[in-house]
Chain A
Amino acid sequence: MLPATAVSLAVLAALLAWPVPALLARARWPRRDPLVALVCWQAIGLAGGLSMIGALLVHGLSPWGHSLPEALRSVLTAHPAADPVRGDHWAALTLAGVLASELLGVLVLSWVRTTRTRRRHRELLELVVEPSAELPDTRLLDHPAPVAFCIPGARPLLVLSSGMVAELDGDQLAAVVAHERAHLREHHHLLLLPFVAWEAALPVLPAAGRAHAAVRELVEMRADDVALGSLSGTAPRRTLARAIVAAAGGGEEVPRGALAVSGGATGARVVRLLEPPSPLPVPVRWAALASAGLLLLVPTGLLVLPAL
């Protein structure tokens, strides 16, 4: 018989692998409070991996004991299994090992790969472009396309193309810089990393790609919100929206792949700036944060607490 813990973890894993991310990706409330939604996404990712691997582990070790601590203790002390160990136990253990090492391996791999690429970009930039006197962490790249981006890391760099500077007025440029600085200050690249890795590790799971796209969109909205807080001027929302539209204007030389996704997300950002949705009511906000916490507590509790 399967231990109740393994069954509950498997059900949770199934919910987190498909219906829950699908619901959250389609929900309207995340754009009202991107930060809370980002917390929820992190909880879903973490709890999903934990329950998936945990379910396999608990089932695979069930001949040695009916809870994970109990089974681990008897395995580590070389106690013989109380029940006969069947093929499906070994299969579950193998699958747990493969999944755990794949998820962690891909995470480490994409971390190493992006870090290396970022370092090369930074070296290239520092060589090609001289730092400006008033903005030491900003580089102006001579290129007609209106582009702004940042390179995260220990020595972050903020890059503006000359096309961007030519296209925008002073207030709009300040809005762009504030947006990119928000990415850097809140380390948004770290929030994205697990979802990049998750998508690479589980390409068959449609939820993985959808989660990645949703988190990417939320991170941009969050950076917009932070930027608005630091902007002066009469209508910062409109200034930022105009900067986004101006930056999106030169779309000719861009390759065609994945355009609909980012274009739709850009439209959502502009709409959100021009017609701001009402912020989430405080109780709803706390309820969402509490569910995120609960989502992490449930699999952890199932794994650590003695058998049901």
Chain B
Amino acid sequence: MASLGELERAVMERLWAADGPVAATALRDGLADRGVALTTVHTVLSRLEQKGFVVHDDARPRRFSARSSRADHAAELMREVLGQAGDRQAVLARFVGSVDADEARMLRELLAGAPDTSADAPAR
């Protein structure tokens, strides 16, 4: 039995791959190899709707589509990560904060100037 998270991902894959809105029955047929019941598909869809990733139209039966593309989701997340706002709110701990071109050059000079004590560290 697949976990809900896995099923959510599988449903999103199909919605992203589809040309237009998809009915729940079609989604179930697409997931036939996992042996998923129609009620499970509806559960997964309503969870995805609650999270704001999926919308449905008014057709009968309802048809579902992804709110935005996979690339848009990734881009949205990265915008928040790269922007300063998320950082100031301590939402996420970035490995290295934003650095401008001058700072970056200074950092590289710092690294180049330091005595190289390791055997496996050729100049970049």
Contact = CB atoms under 8 A, between A and B. Distances in A.
Contact of B93 (A127, A150, A234): A150
Interface in B93-120: 93-101, 103-104, 106-108, 110-111, 114, 116-120
Interface in B61-83: 70, 73-78, 80-83
A234 B120 contact: yes
Contacts of B81: 147, 149
A149 B86 CA distance: 11
B92 interface: yes
B28 to A, nearest CB: 19
Contacts of B99: 248, 251, 254, 259, 262-263, 266
Given A150-B92, A196-B90, A235 B121 contact: yes
Interface residues of B, number: 49
B77 to A, nearest CB: 5
Interface centre among A130, A246, A258, A263 (most CB of B within 10 A): A263
Contact of A110 (B76, B89, B95): B89
A249 B104 contact: yes
A113 B89 contact: yes
Nearest to B76: A124
B9 interface: yes
11 contacts: A123-B51, A123-B53, A141-B74, A149-B92, A234-B119, A235-B118, A242-B121, A244-B96, A251-B103, A263-B97, A270-B111
Interface of A: 110, 113-114, 117-118, 120-121, 123-130, 141-143, 145, 147-152, 161, 164, 176, 179-180, 183, 188-189, 192-193, 196, 219, 223, 233-235, 238-239, 241-249, 251-259, 262-267, 270-271, 274-275
Interface of B: 5, 8-9, 12, 51, 53, 70, 73-78, 80-84, 86-101, 103-104, 106-108, 110-111, 114, 116-121, 124
